[in-house]
Amino acid sequence: MDPLDWVHQWDDYEMVMYARADGEDPGIYMQVSQRRQVDGAEEWEVLYERKLADLYPDLPEAPGSEAWEEAQLRTHLHRRPQLVAEEKAYLAAWLAQGGVGS
């Protein structure tokens, strides 16, 4: 799996979608970061991370493997082709609220 398949950058923002099988709330997540210039260096600050969906339980790959994560993400993206537009709208609303709530 190429992690860059799940990264979308625009302007000074980056969104990364990933699947998590362990922890207290397994699921498909989105992390959104903002690029900042600090003393001439580029830094990425995580703005928020949020759960998008529950996992798809019927996929044959072994949970936690790269093949499993790719299958989870591809299935979700196939079912929600408008995901990038939705996340950009969510980010705009989140910023308009002063960066609070999720």
CA-CA distance, 92 to 80, in Å (whole number)?
19
The residue to which tokens 């709330």 are assigned: 25
How confident is the model at residue 61, as a pLDDT? Answer: 87
pLDDT at position 5 = 65
pLDDT at position 101 is 62
CA dist 18 and 70 (Å) reads: 9
**Range of the structural domain that residue 81 is part of:** 3-96
Q: Which residues of the chain have pLDDT under 70?
A: 1-5, 101-102
Number of domains in the chain: 1
pTM of the model: 0.85
Quick check: is 102 in a domain?
A: no
Cβ contact 44:54 at 8 Å? no
Q: Residue 8 falls within a domain, yes or no? A: yes
